[in-house]
Structure 1
């Protein structure tokens, strides 16, 4: 997924994990989870990671990450009831941006049901001017970079 989203992502390729359970309300008229819900799940997983790693809501934090691009490929349906695993890795840890690569897996599946890429650029919370990631932010995320 580093340049283009890959259709054959496997569990072993991701480095941080969380679980999310589908709800009846997540399903559309076709009986599977609606595409907009996948983005909500990806955003929830990404926010949990950022809070856990201290790059969101850190004391004295003056920068915020804004999503400047995202893309998703839907590879297999997810239904209700189902619990999915969401894996995250970093495709790129830049000077002022982070590209996150995420995938949704059914609990017993080795192949992804959906793959997604988000790029966040860090800006000053007040002025919205682009800023460099702090060394603390970089070190908190460095182990998630896919080599």
Structure 2
């Protein structure tokens, strides 16, 4: 039986994303190797998604009855970024389930056509108190994620 290796993920172009957010790098983002450390990319994912949801009225982090918990995340890196570069996070939604959403984020050097990194995370939306998945996404959240598909 012949087993072929899965194709190596490739960078995506800007047109694959529906919304962009500018993000400034900080001095502390660089690691000892002179580029942005991998953990910073995950904070950029959180920033891009949650800021979009908050700004569009789909998420109330202080008093909302429904919150999103990350249950899966992954990132592929293609090119280094470093302070003091400006970056842009491209955002799209790849899948909407009953109580979950898969967000995909591309991290671009400002103005670049191809992403330097791309990844995803899955939010499962749960009741704030019980931490049990909701029966359905709240209407406001459903409307906002549809704009990113």
TM-score under structure 1 normalisation? 0.90
Per the alignment, in what secondary structure is the counterpart of residue 118 of structure 2?
strand
Match of residue 38 from structure 2: 35
Instruction: Give 1:127 shift.
Output: 0.5
Query: Among residues 123, 127, 137, which one is paired with 2:126 in the alignment?
Result: 123
Cα contact 2:92–2:148 (8 A) shared by 1: yes
Please say which structure displays the higher CA radius of gyration: 2
Could you say if the C-alpha distance between residues 5 and 141 of structure 1 is closer, same or farther in structure 2, counting changes exceeding 3 Å?
farther
Asked whether the 8 Å contact 1:5–1:73 carries over to 2, the reply is no
CA contact (8 A) 1:72 1:114 kept: yes
1:136 aligns with 2:127: no
| Matched-pair contact (CA < 8 Å) for 1:5–1:116 | no
Question: Partners of 1:78 and 1:17 in 2: how far apart?
Answer: 17
Task: Rate the CA distance shift 1:60–1:23 in 2: closer, same or farther, 3 A.
Answer: closer
> Are the aligned partners of 1:75 and 1:112 in contact in 2 as well (CA < 8 Å)?
yes
Displacement, 1:53?
1.9
CA RMSD of aligned residues (A): 1.9
Match of residue 82 from structure 2:
79
User: How far is the alpha carbon of 1:61 from its aligned partner?
Assistant: 2.9
Please give the secondary structure, in 2, of the residue aligned with 1:48. helix
Counterparts of 1:47 and 1:85, CA distance in 2: 15
Q: What SS does structure 2 have at the residue aligned with 1:73?
A: strand
Residue number in structure 1 paired with 2:29: 26
Per the normalisation by structure 2, the TM-score is 0.89
Moved over 4 A (4+): none
Cα displacement (A) at 1:108: 2.7
